[in-house]
Amino acid sequence: MMPYEFHDLKAKMTAIPACPQCTMENIYPDGANYVCANCGYEWSMVDDTYADDTAAAVIKDANGNVLTDGDEVVLIKDLKVKGSSITLKMGTKIKGIRLVGGDHEVDCRTSAGSFMLKACFLRKV
């Protein structure tokens, strides 16, 4: 028969999930995180799968004002559009912005076309 300590340790080891990145089971706890020994991926022991749904990200402009859908903004510097010869000029007013997730937080339309912009290059009017 197994000693109690070994049985308790075995129960704890089976409770550790597989790596979400490489799906291997060579995982060890490190503080408040799990670490995969195979790929080096780290993730929190706390199940935060619903944390993004409850707490919406606050997107702020260059001056620290909170942006919302439908706001009117102005470009604070000239922006060269990657992959084309278009340059969005400083002072261009953009109406009816839409906030989206990701690196470029603002989806908008200008006279030059539709663009995804970073909020740090915008100022709320």
Whether residue 86 sits in one domain with residue 120: yes
Number of domains in the chain: 2
Cα distance between residue 107 and residue 43, in whole Å: 30
Domain with 31, as residue range(s), is 4-51
Asked if residue 106 lies in contact with residue 99, where contact means CB atoms within 8 angstroms, the answer is yes
Q: How far is CA 97 from CA 60, 105, 119, in A?
A: 13, 10, 11
Whether residue 47 sits in one domain with residue 84: no
CATH number, domain with residue 107: 2.30.30.40
CATH number, domain with residue 43: 2.20.25.10
- Model confidence pLDDT, tens digit, residues 59-97: 999 999 999 999 999 999 999 999 999 999 999 999 999
**Beta-carbon contacts of residue 35 (< 8 Å; ≥ 6 apart):** 27, 28, 29, 41, 42
Q: 94 lies in a domain?
A: yes
The pTM of the full predicted model, rounded to 2 decimals, is: 0.56
